[in-house]
């Protein structure tokens, strides 16, 4: 690999780069550096760095050649047939890397170890924020799912075992489908309202389903928690510091003690509340009334008056749950 890199040291070519699906393509200069493709604007300012081990080709054998960084097919680099030397160089370097990569079984974590080599060589990525953003960008769904399952295993010591009444679990499944949530669990303690874990699981305190008269309230807790949390893996890395991002990049996993600390932070900390405008839009998207939730968190309605007045629905257009399922859900934790 080092020999191949030396051969193409500082090779440059013109190309078209697009940062995302909603962005315009722009003229750029692409250069091969130390195990990276560096993309510059026409004023010689670096726009981004791609790790050569993570470069993928969208249209093998076709021209113009279109490349993208692994994990983000929306960002593209288009190199025309008049820059054949650059295309050949990228392909040869990609081939050289592929011959040295581990066999299936460890493949999905390989990109993390290779990416960190690039990070160590680029001073900008020593900054915690940049390191975190890079880890979030390259983490594939399989790694996110593994972390979510590992986090979920740590919750019982804080929340108690999830409630599992058979009819209640069936009703909870209906609520998952109605709200488009990957997984919902009702727990006997710890959570205040609802909490979102990496991997997409939403934890609900039993009071969220037992203490209110209509299912719109519990739906509200779920929607509000998701809106406030955003990407739950981002929150985990923000709370855990630069070492967590580094571990994720190098191993594709996070240690149990860090996950336990995160659970305590998420479950025991006061819930985060999203901006009113974001909440209103989220309830509108899910076709759920916001007033029941607003009165649930402030029975007087004084602190949540903007939400109440902006409720997009007088009646929920599509029932959250049938009466039978709502009754079953309220009994999910038993007596």
* pLDDT over threshold 90, residue 236: no
Per-residue pLDDT reduced to its tens digit, 117-175: 554 544 444 556 677 777 677 777 778 888 888 888 878 777 888 898 999 999 999 99
Query: Would you say residue 75 lies in a domain?
Result: yes
292 and 170 within one domain: yes
244 and 309 within one domain: yes
Query: Would you say residue 230 lies in a domain?
Result: yes
Which single residue is written with the structure tokens 């008056």?
A: 305
321 and 253 within one domain: yes
Query: Would you say residue 116 lies in a domain?
Result: no
- For 37, 95, 103, 106, 308, the CA distances from 304, given in Å and listed in that order, are 50, 58, 55, 50, 6
What is the reported pLDDT for 123? 46
Give the separation between CA 25 and CA 41, rounded to whole angstroms.
Answer: 12
- For 24, 225, 228, 235, the CA distances from 137, given in Å and listed in that order, are 21, 23, 20, 14
- Which residues have CB under 8 Å from 112's CB, separation 6+? 138, 143, 248, 249, 250, 251, 252
- For 31, 134, 209, the CA distances from 226, given in Å and listed in that order, are 41, 23, 17
272 and 211 within one domain: yes
Q: Phi then psi for 39, rounded to 5 degrees? A: -110, 120
Percent of the chain with pLDDT over 90: 35
- CATH of residue 33's domain is 2.30.29.30
Per-residue pLDDT reduced to its tens digit, 2-46: 444 556 666 889 999 998 888 889 999 998 876 678 888 888 888
Query: Would you say residue 135 lies in a domain?
Result: no
- Which residues have CB under 8 Å from 312's CB, separation 6+? 280, 283, 284, 289, 290
Q: Tell me the pLDDT of the chain averaged across its residues.
A: 82
Query: Would you say residue 316 lies in a domain?
Result: yes
Query: Would you say residue 133 lies in a domain?
Result: no
281 and 224 within one domain: yes
b/e 37-75 (16+ beta carbons within 10 angstroms → b) = bbbbeeeeeeeebbbbbbbeeeeeeeeebbbbbbbeeeb
What is the reported pLDDT for 71? 74
| Residue span of the structural domain in which 184 resides | 141-330
Query: Would you say residue 180 lies in a domain?
Result: yes
Number of structural domains in the chain: 2
What is the pLDDT averaged over residues 278-288?
A: 94
Q: Which residue has the higher pLDDT, 32 or 304?
A: 304
Nearest Cα to Cα of residue 312 among 332, 287, 293: 287
């Amino acid at each position: 690999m080092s020999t191949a890199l030396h051969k193409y040291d500082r090779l440059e070519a013109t190309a078209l780069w697009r940062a995302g699906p909603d962005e315009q393509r722009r003229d750029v200069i692409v250069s091969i550096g130390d195990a990276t493709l560096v993309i510059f604007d026409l004023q010689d300012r670096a726009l981004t760095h791609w790790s050569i081990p993570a470069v993928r080709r969208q249209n093998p054998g076709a021209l113009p050649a279109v490349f993208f960084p692994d994990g983000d097919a929306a960002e593209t680099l288009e190199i025309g047939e008049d820059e054949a030397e650059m295309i050949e160089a990228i392909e040869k370097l990609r081939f050289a890397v592929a011959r040295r990569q581990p066999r299936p079984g460890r493949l999905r974590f390989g990109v993390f170890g290779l990416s960190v080599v690039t990070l160590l060589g680029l001073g900008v990525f020593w900054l915690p924020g940049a390191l975190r953003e890079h880890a979030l960008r390259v983490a594939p769904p399989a790694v996110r799912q593994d972390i979510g399952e590992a986090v979920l295993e740590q919750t019982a010591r804080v929340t108690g075992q999830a409630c599992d009444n058979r009819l209640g679990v069936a009703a909870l499944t209906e609520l998952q489908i109605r709200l488009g949530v990957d997984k919902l669990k009702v727990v006997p303690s710890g959570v205040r309202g609802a909490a979102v874990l990496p991997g997409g699981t939403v934890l609900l305190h039993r009071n969220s389903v037992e203490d209110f008269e209509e299912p719109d309230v519990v739906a509200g807790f779920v929607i509000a928690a998701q809106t406030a949390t955003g990407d739950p893996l981002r929150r985990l890395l923000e709370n855990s510091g630069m070492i967590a991002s580094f571990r994720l990049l190098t191993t594709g996993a996070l240690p149990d003690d860090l996950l336990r600390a995160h659970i305590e932070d998420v479950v025991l900390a006061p819930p985060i509340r999203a901006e009113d405008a974001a909440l209103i839009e989220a309830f509108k998207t899910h076709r759920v009334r916001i007033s029941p939730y607003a009165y649930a968190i402030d029975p007087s309605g004084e602190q949540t008056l903007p939400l109440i007045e902006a409720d997009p629905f007088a009646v929920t257009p599509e029932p959250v749950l049938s009466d039978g399922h709502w009754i079953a859900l309220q009994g999910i934790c038993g007596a």
